[in-house]
């Protein structure tokens, strides 16, 4: 991989990760003094006729930039991210391969629920949760109250926080970003 196209973690002035840019972009920000070098790759240099710079891995923006809220696409992996890869029923954290999506109100029961007690649509952020295979099988097409199950208050569907910024574990380990990225 060309050094100039490798990823660099960009931190806001408050040390919050806000982006991943290329080494080339990071070098430009450093030269323009719009960022400071936080971490570099020892022994890997970028050379020009007049400059010799170590390859940046983490940079800090010198000014604070408000990160716009992202509109997230409804998808299996985004539901898992939102729920932190944790079954909302038994609270076990599992890899994606061991998780399923559960419709809190099953399709077969949708019509019997009063309109004011259900989301606008069946396949929505509010009606989908992360569940392990065991819990999803036990739940089947039952409603939570029939099983005497609850989604804990701090995990209720309308109060979950969606991560603003997520990075693969591989990148975090390869480029030494662990001190700045929450897993």
Q: Where are the domains of the chain?
A: 3-67+164-175, 76-147
Does residue 162 surpass a pLDDT of 60?
Answer: no
| CATH class name, domain 76-147 | mainly alpha
Name the pLDDT band for 158 (thresholds 50, 70, 90): very low
Pairing of strands 52-61, 7-11: parallel
Please tell me the predicted confidence (pLDDT) of residue 128. 92
What confidence tier does 164 reach under pLDDT thresholds 50, 70, 90? low
Residue that is written with structure tokens 């490798």 in the block: 6
Long-range contacts of 117-121 (CB under 8 A, 24+ apart): none
Show Cβ contacts of residue 68 under 8 Å, excluding neighbours closer than 6 positions.
none
Whether 80 shows a pLDDT value over 50: the answer reads: yes
């Amino acid at each position: 991989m060309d050094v100039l196209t490798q990823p660099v973690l960009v931190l806001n002035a408050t040390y919050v990760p806000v982006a991943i840019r290329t080494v080339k972009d990071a070098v430009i920000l450093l030269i323009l003094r719009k960022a400071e070098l936080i971490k570099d790759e020892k022994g890997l240099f970028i050379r020009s006729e007049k400059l010799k710079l170590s390859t940046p891995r983490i940079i800090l923006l010198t000014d604070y930039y408000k990160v716009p809220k992202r509109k997230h696409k409804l998808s299996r992996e985004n539901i898992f991210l939102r729920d932190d890869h944790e079954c909302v029923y038994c609270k076990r954290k599992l890899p994606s391969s061991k998780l399923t999506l559960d419709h809190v109100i099953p399709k077969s029961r949708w019509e019997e629920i009063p309109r004011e007690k259900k989301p606008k649509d069946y396949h929505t952020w509010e009606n989908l949760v992360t569940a392990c295979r065991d819990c999803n099988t036990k739940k089947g097409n039952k409603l939570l109250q029939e099983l005497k199950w609850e989604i804990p208050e701090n995990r209720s569907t309308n109060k979950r926080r969606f991560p603003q910024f997520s990075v693969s574990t591989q990148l975090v380990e390869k480029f030494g970003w662990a001190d700045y990225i929450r897993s």
